[in-house]
Amino acid sequence: MSEHKSLPAKAIVLGVSAGGVAALKALLGSLPADFPLPILIVQHTAPDSGNMLAPLLNEMCEIRVKEAEECEAIQAGTAYLSPANYHLLVESDHTLSLSIDAHVSFARPSIDVLFESAATAFGSELIGVILTGANSDGSQGLKKIKEKGGLAIVQDPADALVATMPQAALDAVRADHVVPLEKLGPLLCELLDN
């Protein structure tokens, strides 16, 4: 895989559902402190789940992990988690916004909502990643990222704790990379290496 050329990416969006906490620990824990992009994450959570995941991940990772806030400007080397029961969106000025609009794909936060808003904001300078999960949320958003010229990466369904979501993504788009979770962090670093 050494023939990857450096990408002009400005952000990564990532969607994960069932099995997500372990997947996020593995992926975010594998990234170096100087990781060059922000990562915007929707993890499906119960509406009343509180905000324990971001502090837990922040303790375990070299990059900064925090819960996204309204009107926050995104920064490199930081992972932003959508708060429970809020859609996470990217505005045209690359700040974050939160919404309590209706559920999309039976979810709030919805991966599709984040991916579609980010695709509009970043165009071809976006990487979309779909990990383990038990529904099809994210597949339409990943399709929009591809339509705008961005890069699509999907966890190998055979490697996912729950294969439904990555398989739905693969059914919707031709992914640029299909990899097991353990290879995703190194792949991202390699793709972004100048």
Catalytically active residues are: 17, 44, 137
Residues contacting 137, CB < 8 A, separation 6+: 15, 17, 44, 104, 105, 106, 107, 110, 111, 112, 165
**DSSP 8-state class, residue 82:** P
Q: What is the dihedral of CA 112, 88, 125, 1, to 10 degrees?
A: -70
Residues contacting 54, CB < 8 A, separation 6+: 65, 66, 67, 81
